[in-house]
Structure 1
């Protein structure tokens, strides 16, 4: 099974990037930004993203549109200070582009300004690493 990791963050805290690096550590793969298009078809795309103004960023949507023919399935990983997952927003875009989206996802809270200080934490990273490994093992 071929897997790629792509992430998008515009936060100075870099919570989403840190999460992507933890997933990379667990899988032995490289986490690249959504500015890096897929070079070949992958069975699973681990898409690491965050909520911005109650939606996913346009750069994530553009990446998916540019790479739709290279993606077998998306597995969503997300962070947000609101506690709300981006899964439904990714689902809307994935459906429009006819890219399957796994029903399973990883989500954790993240800090922003004075909210959720210290999150994600090591426990969140451990859960993310386990989830990524589980998703690699599922055929």
Structure 2
């Protein structure tokens, strides 16, 4: 009998956009979405890690979380992100995780997030449906 995969969802969200995605992923996987203030202290086959991209790049809180990750607890990381202007957080996070020798899925999720007058209502119902479909793919791994 195969053991059941264990998932974890961690995120950093200043405006609530990434939090919406994190909560949808967690609901799809049957786990809890927590901020990166909650470290990973038990084994996770897949950690879904979410953040936004800001003008200055990846938030220092995410960088600190990655620096403190222990490869013995996490087999693989899947990145999801939002932003109003800059594109995906994936390349920057991938570089940081390679230094930690933690496997990063090449498959990642990105959508626009609402910021001031830009992208009103994003992530919207379609984005939440899309991120749920995205997360379900990992249930089959």
How would you bin the TM-score normalised by the shorter chain? over 0.9
State the Cα distance separating 1:86 from its structure 2 match.
0.6
Listed one character per residue, the Cα deviations across residues 99-125 of structure 1 (whole Å, up to 9, x for unaligned) are 111000111011101111111110000
Query: Is this contact kept in 2: 1:109–1:120, CA < 8 A?
Result: yes
List alignment gaps of at least 5 residues for structure 2.
none
Distance 1:116 1:46 in 2: 24
Of 4, 8, 11 in structure 2, the residue corresponding to residue 4 of structure 1 is: 8
State the Cα distance separating 1:54 from its structure 2 match.
4.1
State the Cα distance separating 1:28 from its structure 2 match.
1.2
Pair 1:132-2:135 in alignment: yes
Normalised by the length of structure 2, the TM-score is: 0.91
Query: Is this contact kept in 1: 2:7–2:29, CA < 8 A?
Result: no
Distance 1:83 1:97 in 2: 25
Of 55, 61, 64 in structure 2, the residue corresponding to residue 62 of structure 1 is: 64
Query: Is this contact kept in 2: 1:80–1:110, CA < 8 A?
Result: yes
State the Cα distance separating 1:137 from its structure 2 match.
1.4
Listed one character per residue, the Cα deviations across residues 66-94 of structure 1 (whole Å, up to 9, x for unaligned) are 12322211100111111511110111111
Identify the residue that residue 86 of structure 1 maps to in structure 2: 89
Of 115, 120, 123 in structure 1, the residue corresponding to residue 123 of structure 2 is: 120
Identify the residue that residue 71 of structure 1 maps to in structure 2: 74
List alignment gaps of at least 5 residues for structure 1.
none
Count how many residue pairs are aligned between Structure 1 and Structure 2: 136
